[in-house]
Amino acid sequence: MHKLQLTGISKSFGSQAVLKNLSLEIFPNELFIILGSSGCGKTTLLLGIIGLQPFDSGRVIIDGTDVTYLSPGERNIGYVPQNYALFPNYTVFENIAFGLRLRNIPKDIVQTKVKQIIDNFSLQGLEYHFPSQLSGGQMQRVALARALIIEPSLLLLDEPVSALDIETRQKIKAELKEIQRKLHVTMVYITHDQQETLEMADRFGILNEGKIEQYGSPDEVFYKPETLFVARFLNTENVLEGKVIHRFGNKVTIQINDIILKMSTPLELPEGKRVTVCIRPGAIHLSTHPAHPGKNVFTGTIESIHPIGRDLEVKVLVTPQETLKTRISRTAVKKLKLTHGMPVNLSIDEAYVHLIPVP
């Protein structure tokens, strides 16, 4: 189990600053995901950690040892690039054995270790195949086996499943979690895919404009975004601008145009303070029954119904100026006989409402 610390990391290409004084701590035996849009610097960050593309400034520390100026081989980091980077003229066996041979490991030990990892990754019978003869999933397994056979202090993965079909993608993701559990390896994994992040990450960070905008567990970040950028990047369906019009203790009343929302908050928000109100669809309950008077209950009409994966997104007009979106199952839509223009009632669970003070 190994810990990674990045301190004050910066990297520029000409006049373009890609990483800006970035600092991050990744715990032993966790799968940490760097989430960000294409071109935001995710791969640049990985290549700098490995030492293939040194940072302009900052420190890379593994288990308390500063490895900033060590060569890639001396850092003992496993790396699986997005295109797998298998040697086309090497067999599966030779590709997997490459790191061991580079370290002058005795031939008999190489044979034993390669056979063992080929068995572990279900690559039996492919030992003398070349990369051109393999499927995408098989190439991914070979790349993982090659990275792990050297028993690395860290395993870095660059968009490891993005090029695979859906079925293979799910298998590889399950295998990665199993590898992490069995080998207790610390993984740093980059992706642009939010669903992948939710499924895989112990913790994750969002890379934006050269810095980690926010990091934490999936629940912490998805349900409690700290900035408007994070809320919008994570597709928080309801992001509304409001103002605190009353406060008593930890209870506040928020006005969002004609919507009045009452909730508790640990934040110190004086009356008159502007806030961004983030409401995930799971916080909004839709009903066709008459609404019981109460806190955070609203009436409206269905403006649209759209498929979102397995569910349907229902957009409800609650005032002439504001709509709220919720998601319900296709079965529920049929059972409630929901249609465009139909009057409905919404109730909001304040426990899943998050406020971001406007600077």
Domain ranges of the chain: 4-231, 236-357
Burial class (CB in 10 A: 0-12, 13-18, 19+), 340: exposed
The answer, yes or no, to whether residue 290 has pLDDT greater than 80, is no
Q: Which of 340, 316, 338 is nearest to 238 (CA)?
A: 316
- Residue 73 confidence class, pLDDT cut points 50, 70, 90: confident
Alpha carbons 75 and 67: distance in angstroms, whole number: 6
Relative to beta strand 274-279, strand 238-248 is antiparallel
**Max CA pair span of the chain:** 78
pLDDT confidence of residue 23: 97
Angle subtended by helix axes 166-183 and 136-148, to nearest 10: 20
The answer, yes or no, to whether residue 248 has pLDDT greater than 70, is yes
What mean pLDDT comes out for the span 226-247? Answer: 93
Q: Which of 299, 318, 341, 347 is nearest to 257 (CA)?
A: 318
The answer, yes or no, to whether residue 128 has pLDDT greater than 70, is yes
Q: Is the dihedral of CA 281, 285, 287, 291 positive or negative?
A: negative
Taking the whole predicted model, whether its pTM rises above 0.75 is answered as yes
Under DSSP, the state recorded for 281 is G
- Residue 172 confidence class, pLDDT cut points 50, 70, 90: confident
Alpha carbons 152 and 9: distance in angstroms, whole number: 22
Q: Domain 236-357: give its CATH code.
A: 2.40.50.100
Angle subtended by helix axes 92-102 and 107-120, to nearest 10: 130
Relative to beta strand 343-348, strand 16-26 is unpaired
Q: Over the chain, what is the mean pLDDT?
A: 92
**pLDDT tens digits, 296-333:** 898 999 999 999 888 999 999 998 889 999 999 999 98
pLDDT confidence of residue 1: 67
**pLDDT tens digits, 149-169:** 999 999 999 998 887 888 888
Type and span of the H or E element at 73: helix 72-75
- Residue 293 confidence class, pLDDT cut points 50, 70, 90: low
pLDDT confidence of residue 166: 85
41 torsion bin: left (phi>0), alpha (psi -120 to 50), beta (else): left
pLDDT confidence of residue 291: 65
pLDDT confidence of residue 295: 78
The answer, yes or no, to whether residue 116 has pLDDT greater than 70, is yes
Residue bearing tokens 């002439």: 320
pLDDT confidence of residue 281: 82
Which amino acid is it at 220? E
**pLDDT tens digits, 32-65:** 999 999 889 999 999 999 999 999 999 999 999 9
Q: Domain 4-231: give its CATH code.
A: 3.40.50.300
Pair 24, 212: CB distance under 8 Å: yes
At residue 269, the 3 state secondary structure works out as coil
- Greater model confidence, 244 or 170: 244
Pair 91, 145: CB distance under 8 Å: no
Please count the helices (runs of H) and the strands (runs of E) in the chain.
10, 20
**pLDDT tens digits, 7-36:** 999 999 999 999 999 999 999 999 999 999
Pair 1, 186: CB distance under 8 Å: yes
Task: Compute the half-sphere exposure of residue 124: CA atoms within 13 Å on the CB side of its CA.
Answer: 4
